[in-house]
Amino acid sequence: MAKSLGIFVTNPDNFRHVMGITKAAKAKGSKVKVFFTWTGTHCAKKEAEFPALCKLADDVSICLDSYGKQGYDRNDVPAGLEPSKMATQAQHGAIIEDYDCYISL
């Protein structure tokens, strides 16, 4: 059975690693969920490949509160993301609770 991987992203400079790890994990048949929080939410607006990540991973969500605190309009949903994926820290909890492997970047 394929494993599952949760990626928790707080550092906006690590997006290339998020993409690389997600590609590698998907190529091995793993389920991948990515959650961006605090300054990591800049990736949703500043990384050209963010919509591609949303398509590639099984689940991508961002912390709505952090997104607002980083200066973005809470109603301005980043390209590639469903409005329901602008969520809370419960998404981080879901990664820890439900996924086999966990990485913090």
Partner 1 sequence: MEYKKVCFMYRNKDYTMDGIRSALGLAVENMYAYGVVLDNEIPALDENQQESIEMLRDMEGEVYSTVQANVDKSGFEAITIEELGEKLREMTNIVPYGIK
Q: Is 74 in the site for partner 1 (CB under 8 A)?
A: no
Q: Is 11 in the site for partner 1 (CB under 8 A)?
A: yes
Q: Is 59 in the site for partner 1 (CB under 8 A)?
A: no
Q: Is 22 in the site for partner 1 (CB under 8 A)?
A: no
At 43, the amino acid letter reads C
String of DSSP letters for 33-90 = EEEE-GGGGHHHHH-TTHHHHHHHSSEEEEEHHHHHHTT--TT-PPTT--GGGEE-TH
Q: Is 72 in the site for partner 1 (CB under 8 A)?
A: no
Q: Where on the chain is the footprint of partner 1 (CB under 8 A)?
A: 8, 10-11, 13, 37-39, 65-66, 69, 88-90, 92-94, 96-97, 102, 104
